[in-house]
Amino acid sequence: MNLLLIILALVFMSLINIVAVRGIKSSSNHNRAKELGYWLIYIVYWSFTLPILITKQSYFYSNGSPINYTLHVTIWLLIVYLMITVLIPLIILPFSSILKEKVAEKYNTNLYPITDKQQFMFVFVTITVGICEEIIFRGFMQHYVKEFGVSTLWSFLIISVVFGAGHFMQGLTGVISSTLLGLILGYLYYTTGSLLIPILVHILYDAKAIYISRVLTKSHKSLLLKEIQDELHRN
């Protein structure tokens, strides 16, 4: 039953990414399709998370830790790497027109918010995804995999890779960055002893899309502004 639930969760979370993104691309009403995609995320994610919570199959508190000295050092190097490549650019973004243009060119308008309404809805997307994915991947899958004789260390590594692979719609870069994030979130789960910190970090990490959107839309010279104007004109 647990294995079936895992397979269904992975399949449906993958399908929701495909359906949402392709639906938005093919829709004549771009904004409306994106908002419906956000609603689809709410419904599907909670549909899988609530049964896990109700049947008490998720471990909010970690049980045993695979973290050794080598892993400690490796994860902290990853944390430093993400701070350099993600956090520092986010801090600089409002003050650099060149960085704004580069970020706007790569900003996925098919998935991420643009209008005020989308930004508001995306707040609940980040909360939903942050809570549900941590419960499903770290609290449930990471423990259940061990029932197949896999060690705590390997379950931690395997689920981090599966977590990254689940973000395939974001391309190879998205898969790699999500895998690294999964390693960090799994590390936080074991070192802090609960899902609380991983959930908060996950929510904040995803919320950067809202921050980026707001910064770019305030810049009249940004490429994203042109995208917004085009969308409003289409609708």
Answer whether residue 29 shows pLDDT above 80: no
pLDDT of residue 166: 84
Q: Which amino acid is at 235?
A: N
Ranges 45-49, 62-66, 124-128, 192-196: which has the least confidence:
62-66
- Give the residue with greater pLDDT, 103 vs 11: 103
Total-model pTM:
0.85
User: Which range (20-29, 50-59, 171-180, 201-210) has the least confidence?
Assistant: 20-29
**Measured distance CA(214)–CA(98) in Å, rounded:** 16
More confident residue, 44 or 73: 73
| pLDDT in the model for residue 226 | 57
pLDDT at residue 43 greater than cutoff 70: yes
Q: What percent of the chain has a predicted confidence (pLDDT) above 90?
A: 42
Instruction: Give the per-residue SS3 of 95-119.
Output: HCHHHHHHHHHHCCCCCCCCCHHHH
Under 8 Å between Cβ of 114 and 224: yes
- Res. 175: pLDDT tops 60: yes
User: How many percent of the chain have pLDDT more than 70?
Assistant: 80
116 has pLDDT over 90 = no
Question: Burial, 154: exposed, middle or buried (Cβ in 10 Å; 0-12, 13-18, 19+)?
Answer: middle
